Structure 1
């Protein structure tokens, strides 16, 4: 399978890419090499091969997610550049 310069230019337009003439020829060659490789993969017999879900058999050992407060309210406000009693003060963003 291969593609032509018109198709490459159409793809470049959709991707908002610009190439000079030498780079365009190089990209066309690279794209055709990729398409040739995909064509090779399509010819591989995969009957009887289970789909691969994970790349390894490793299993993550995760701890239980337990919610807890590690910083008190006052400690959280201590380094705030601007605060108003119990709240952070931030610049107004809506009119």
Structure 2
């Protein structure tokens, strides 16, 4: 697959990036190297290779539930910018 200037411009537009011609040319070369690497990997014979589903044989390894202490509401609200016991007060960010 050949990477064109139009492809680089489209990718820049989609990712909302702006760069000069020199940077665009460097990105074009880098993208071409990446595509070449992927094409090279497609040449590898994987007929007798089973798909790898997990990196290890461990399944659902979870930590034990351990009851631990917690802090009081007063201590939690101590450094809050605004509070109305027992809650934190935050600015409204959703407008109707």
Structure 2 length normalisation: TM-score? 0.68
Q: How many residues align?
A: 87
Matched, 1:13 2:13: yes
Aligned to 1:29: 29
Residues 2 and 32 of structure 1 are in contact (CA less than 8 Å); yes or no, is this contact kept in structure 2? Answer: yes
1:3 shift after superposition: 1.2
Q: Which has the larger radius of gyration?
A: 1
SS in 2 for 1:16: coil
Q: Note the 1:1-95 alignment, pairs <5 A.
A: 1-55=1-55, 57=56, 59=58, 62-65=62-65, 68=67, 70-71=69-70, 76-79=72-75, 80-81=77-78, 82=83, 84=85, 87-88=86-87, 90=89, 93=92
Residues 8 and 28 of structure 1 are in contact (CA less than 8 Å); yes or no, is this contact kept in structure 2? Answer: yes
Structure 1 length normalisation: TM-score? 0.69
Unaligned runs of 5+ in 1: none
Over the aligned positions, Cα root-mean-square deviation in angstroms equals 2.8
Unaligned runs of 5+ in 2: none
1:91 shift after superposition: 5.4
